[in-house]
Amino acid sequence: MRGLMMDTPLTIGSIARHVELYHGEREIVSVTADAPPVRTCWRDCMRRARRVANAMQTLGAKPGDTVATLAWNDHRHLEIYYGLSGAGYVCHTINPRLFAEQIVFIVNHAADRWIFIDSMFVPLIEKLKGQLDGVEGFIVMTDEAHMPDSSLDGLLCYETLLADASAELDWPEFDENTAAALCYTSGTTGDPKGVLYSHRSTVLHAYASVAPDALDLRSRDNVLPVVPLFHVNAWGIPYSAAMVGAKLVLPGPKMGDGKTLCHLIRSEEVSIALGVPTVWSALLQYCDDAAQTLDRLERTVIGGAAVPRSMVQAFRDRHDVVVIQGWGMTEMSPLGTVNTLKAGLEGLSPDDKLDLATKAGRAMFGCELRIVDDEGRELPRDGVAFGALQVRGPWVCNDYYKLEGSAGTHTHDGWFETGDVATIDPEGYVAITDRTKDVIKSGGEWISSIELENTAVGHESVAEAAVIGVPHPKWSERPLLIVVPAPGAEPDKSELLAWFDGKVASWWIPNDVAFVDELPHTATGKIKKIELRRQFADYAFPHE
């Protein structure tokens, strides 16, 4: 027997309708690429989003067409998100930090018909224009006064396009499984792969994100996403913040700038900020140097890479801010686990709570998890067994765009291989120990490069650290610690290695330390281990 409830489709347009009706006056503050900060509100955002939708129709766009963006986090990018997806187009966000060849590849692979660009990216597009096959026009996200001189054909001015379009539109209803947004993984090898989010997956992910044991988002929150709108939909914040009617504070191109972030957090009374660890290192450093505190900030959501204990502690002790670690990936919209305290753990000592906070967190309802061994057998949830982490659920990708199952990332029984190695403890907390390809295999046992890196950055002379496995005649592989010293520090090897004593198993302690000026990073700011392994291909451990 079927239930007798309404089959109302879960669409992004329905979030747009809701926020405009119930939270229309709630502010959106945005640093922009071309002007002083702009103050607007959700009502204006949706009015302008309807103009975007109508403008696209006038340009000749058809539902299902992919339209790209190449832009920072500002109010215009947010309007484009809603204007495109809400009207049935696919909003394809492009990471401007990708290599030029990768941008060409994904624009052509996605068959984008138009690209919305921040003016600062016009020179980048000028270099690529001959290679972007199907693109009919470029819309520069500025007004006439700030239009750049350019050799590009088909250059349109965003504000003029909006002024000429009607603000009248009823967000259309359609099947909730319709594609809404597209984001390519920046993959360290091979071509980028497209993850095609649906309206349903986006709305369900937003519902799950706002829950108290997830991000606990409320209408009274002032939210600062320092995660880019061009990467995994800024962790879904444009949708979850709208769902609850929170104030949004958008940092524009000033994402990695500690001073701007500190100023925004203080002046806009930000209560929750979200970003990757490198962003928070910059902010914490600035606060220390400028003797600033983050007064109103209550919590930071940190994910995208492992969160060092020292960072959780700095937020707690110096700023009275709770760190909520999250784990996920582009293929998962992105959230899979969130680290909040479970009933029964309230009595843990402050130190034990710090240890717990360095884990990736517990599964959200809607994202099932399991760890398996090399034969695909499920491993115990005992906090000790390491295994390949697999997930499934309604906001996990079922396939990549136009790859028809050829990526080999799904098991025959419908689970997605995350490529991460993890433990799950009896309480359900997941700890990510490595990427499958980064784990160090020493004498048949696994060593977690992430845990060694986290321990290393806890030392005051270390600015950044990476650990890779290097071939070893007896143990097959042993860890090499690669360190970028903190400004002005001159750490010595034996002092750094002694730092690990008592913090990790003795057989995990790296065999040697190498010092470098900088580490290679991917377009999303993660350490590029593949490149490091190449750099250290000729390295051999000193004789023992």
Q: Which of 13, 251, 303, 479 binds ligand ADP (CB under 6 A)?
A: 303
Catalytic hit among 188, 293, 446, 503: 446
CB 496 within 8 A of CB 523: no
Closest CB to ligand ADP among residues 193, 478: 193
Q: Cite the beta strand spans of 354-475 per DSSP E.
A: 362-363, 368-372, 387-392, 416-424, 430-435, 440-442, 445-447, 462-472
CB of 48 to ligand ADP, least distance (A): 29
Cα-flanking dihedrals φ and ψ of residue 278, to 5°? -65, -35
Q: How far is CA 318 from the centre of its chain?
A: 25
Other Cβ atoms closer than 10 A to 270 = 23
Complex with ligand ADP: residue 171 or 327, whichever CB lies closer: 327
Q: Is the peptide bond before 192 cis (omega within 30 degrees of 0)?
A: no
CA–CA gap between residue 434 and residue 528 (Å, rounded): 13
**Do residues 54 and 22 lie in contact, with contact meaning Cβ atoms separated by under 8 Å?**
no
Closest alpha carbon to 531 in 463, 438, 396, 458: 438
Contact positions with ligand ADP (CB under 6 A) in 242-301: none
Instruction: Kindly tell me which residue out of 222, 325, 340, 442 binds ligand ADP, with binding defined by CB under 6 A.
Output: 325
Residue pair 193/185 in contact (Cβ under 8 Å)? The answer is: yes
Is residue 304 a contact point for ligand ADP (CB under 6 A)?
Answer: yes
Please report how close the Cβ of residue 370 comes to ligand ADP at its closest, in angstroms: 15
Among 305, 379, 385, 463, binds ligand ADP (CB under 6 A): 305
Q: Structure tokens of 407?
A: 């990526």
Rounded to 10 deg, the angle between the 237-244 and 12-23 helix axes is 40
By CB under 6 A, which span of 169-177, 243-251, 413-421, 439-447 interacts with ligand ADP? Answer: 413-421
Answer yes or no: 185 catalytic. yes
Q: Name the residue type at position 442.
A: S
331, 451, 453, 464: the active-site residue: 331
Q: State whether the Cα torsion 152-156-248-66 is positive or negative.
A: negative
Decide whether 360 or 532 has the Cβ nearer to ligand ADP.
360
E strand or H helix at 338: strand 335-338
Backbone angles phi, psi at 370, to 5 degrees: -155, 155
Least separation in angstroms between CB 270 and ligand ADP: 21
Distance CA 493, CA 498 (A): 9
Binder of ligand ADP out of 40, 66, 93, 185 (CB under 6 A):
185
Name the minimum Å distance from CB 287 to ligand ADP.
22
What is the Cα gyration radius of the chain?
Answer: 24
Q: How far is CA 423 from CA 324, 344, 361, 429, 446, in A?
A: 19, 21, 11, 8, 12
Report the residue from 73, 418, 448, 455 that binds ligand ADP according to the rule CB under 6 A.
418
Q: Does 524 bind ligand ADP (CB under 6 A)?
A: yes
The one among 435, 521, 528, 533 contacting ligand ADP by CB under 6 A: 435
Q: Is 360 in the site for ligand ADP (CB under 6 A)?
A: yes
Asked if 150 touches ligand ADP (CB under 6 A), the answer is no
| Position among 54, 198, 310, 330 found at the interface with ligand ADP (CB under 6 A) | 330
Name residues contacting ligand ADP, limited to 464-523 (CB under 6 A): 522
Q: Kindly list the distances between the CA atom of residue 28 and the CA atoms of 79, 229, 249, 275, 300, in Å, as whole numbers in the listed order.
A: 11, 15, 6, 18, 19
The correct pick among 327, 395, 475, 499 for binding ligand ADP (CB under 6 A) is 327
Site stretch for ligand ADP (CB under 6 A), options 153-161, 171-179, 217-225, 417-425: 417-425
Closest separation between CB of residue 387 and ligand ADP, Å? Answer: 14
Per-residue x/- mask for ligand ADP, residues 199 to 238, rule CB under 6 A?
A: ---------------------------------x------
Name which of 310 and 418 has its Cβ closer to ligand ADP. 418
Order of strands, sheet of 387-392, starting from the edge strand that comes earlier in the sequence: 368-372, 387-392, 416-424, 430-435
Size of the site for ligand ADP (CB under 6 A): 21
Residue 331 CB, shortest distance to ligand ADP, in Å, is 7
CA atoms of 384 and 220, how far apart (whole Å): 40
Select which of 93, 185, 340, 418 is catalytic: 185
For ligand ADP, give the closer residue by CB, 49 or 215: 215
Contact call for residue 313 and ligand ADP (CB under 6 A): no
Dist. CA 310–CA 289, nearest whole Å: 17
- Let me know if 331 is a catalytic residue: yes
Residue nearer to ligand ADP on the CB measure, 418 or 423: 418
Whether 342 is a known active-site residue: answer no
Tokens of 503: 């913090």
What tokens appear for 8 in the block?
Answer: 């109302």
Q: 46, 217, 227, 329: which one contacts ligand ADP (CB under 6 A)?
A: 329
Nearest distance in Å: CB 295, ligand ADP:
26
From 71-79, 253-261, 323-331, 374-382, give the range in contact with ligand ADP by CB under 6 A.
323-331
Residue from 441, 445, 460, 495 carrying the catalytic annotation = 441
Per 3-state DSSP, the chain is made up of helix, strand and coil in percentages (nearest 5) of 30, 25, 45
Which active-site residues does the annotation give?
185, 331, 441, 446
Q: Which residues contribute to the site for ligand ADP (CB under 6 A)? A: 185-186, 232, 303-306, 325, 327, 329-330, 334, 360, 418-420, 432, 435, 522, 524, 526
